[in-house]
Amino acid sequence: MHFTFTYIPHNIEKLQEYLDFLFYEVWLKADGDFDADKLSGHPELQQIYIDLGYKEGKWAQFFNSSIENIYREFLKLDSKYRAFLSVRYANNNNIEGLCCDKTIEPITYEEISQSHPDLSKALKSFYSKLYGSNSPFNLEDFGFLNKDLITDYDMAFMEKNNQQVCPFCALTHLKANNHSYREAYDHYIPKGSYPFNVLNFRNLAPMCNECNSTYKLSKSPLYPIDPLKGKNARTKAFYPYADDHPEISFKIEISNSNILNLTPDDISITIHADSGYKEEIETWMRVFGLEERYKATLCSPNDGQVWFNKAIDEFENAKELANIVDYDVFYKRILREAQKYPLSDKGFLKAQFLEECRKKGLFNSI
């Protein structure tokens, strides 16, 4: 990715704390019939459970009955499988570890369903509804997830992460605090396949609609193909909240001198980092379809073609106005501008594209 976000500690993390308590202290320790006393280690959550028991609404009933259903499924598990799930629960929530260390194994609903189909079903029924407009966490008892908690979290997040460009593509603006709407948050490790981390905000990152809803969808940064079939293909990925992120550089090669009629086949794009990161870059390009999108940008009449034409037009103007006759001097100035602001007007692509045009001698005849 072009840059990483800074993680923002926030009161919204209490929801993940509830979920951690349920997993480690209630379900993993399942023994005997379930009742409210099983929640006595967390008085706040216990009170919510009791209060929801008196409410009629479907969300209240869904939350309480889900806790009880999953508890009943855990009763059937032997201690070995409970220990196994405990490790995998921690792994699924170690987002940085999953991204950076291929020895850390996540678990999917499909894997659980191979040996424990009813447990997998109960978990998916619960976790798949926890984030979004139908979440029981939208109840007042939990602090109104969508209306208050996420809105407040997003304000704090965008105040700190104010670049206002999507870090996953840098092609698109990212809505921030000057907008009345907020950008959607993507589950980086997809919530449809992996249980336990749906409200872990280290697994949630705002991204542009094109990245989120057109290209990434449910693609996993951890496996290039179906996780069940692609065990050996576990891949590393950039962690969206990493403290250290390498300098990214782009190289563009063009095999056609007719810039106004370029096709994607005429272009080769490679992305490098200053200190390796080959696998992370491959994952990034795969998940977000970057090769296709960057090539399409260079072929676009409103991007690549305009950059090329403007470079020629502006030099003609500069020659008339300022007696500049050396194209190289002029060119170095516009290249410097594009390099100085790589995230503005797709400067990271523009600079390399114009450099390749110059290398091919396309400005020599001006």
Contacts to Zn ion by CB under 5 A: 166, 168-169, 172, 208, 211
Task: Please count the helices (runs of H) and the strands (runs of E) in the chain.
Answer: 14, 4
Q: Which amino acid is at 55?
A: K
Q: Which two tokens stand for residue 232?
A: 């050996």
The minimum distance between CB 285 and Zn ion, in angstroms, equals 13
Q: How many CB atoms lie within 10 A of CB 239?
A: 23
The minimum distance between CB 248 and Zn ion, in angstroms, equals 15
Identify the helix (H) or strand (E) that includes residue 205: strand 204-206
Q: Is 200 exposed, middle or buried (0-12, 13-18, 19+ CB in 10 A)?
A: buried
Q: Is 162 exposed, middle or buried (0-12, 13-18, 19+ CB in 10 A)?
A: exposed
Nearer to Zn ion, 46 or 163 (CB): 163
Half-sphere exposure of 329 (CA within 13 A, CB side): 7
Nearer to Zn ion, 15 or 208 (CB): 208
The minimum distance between CB 215 and Zn ion, in angstroms, equals 8
Nearer to Zn ion, 100 or 184 (CB): 184
Nearer to Zn ion, 208 or 335 (CB): 208
Nearer to Zn ion, 72 or 175 (CB): 175
The minimum distance between CB 356 and Zn ion, in angstroms, equals 24
The minimum distance between CB 63 and Zn ion, in angstroms, equals 34
The minimum distance between CB 205 and Zn ion, in angstroms, equals 11
Among positive and negative, which fits the CA dihedral 122, 128, 130, 134? negative
CA distance 49 to 82: 24
CA distance 310 to 321: 16
Nearer to Zn ion, 172 or 339 (CB): 172
Q: Which two tokens stand for residue 278?
A: 């080959």
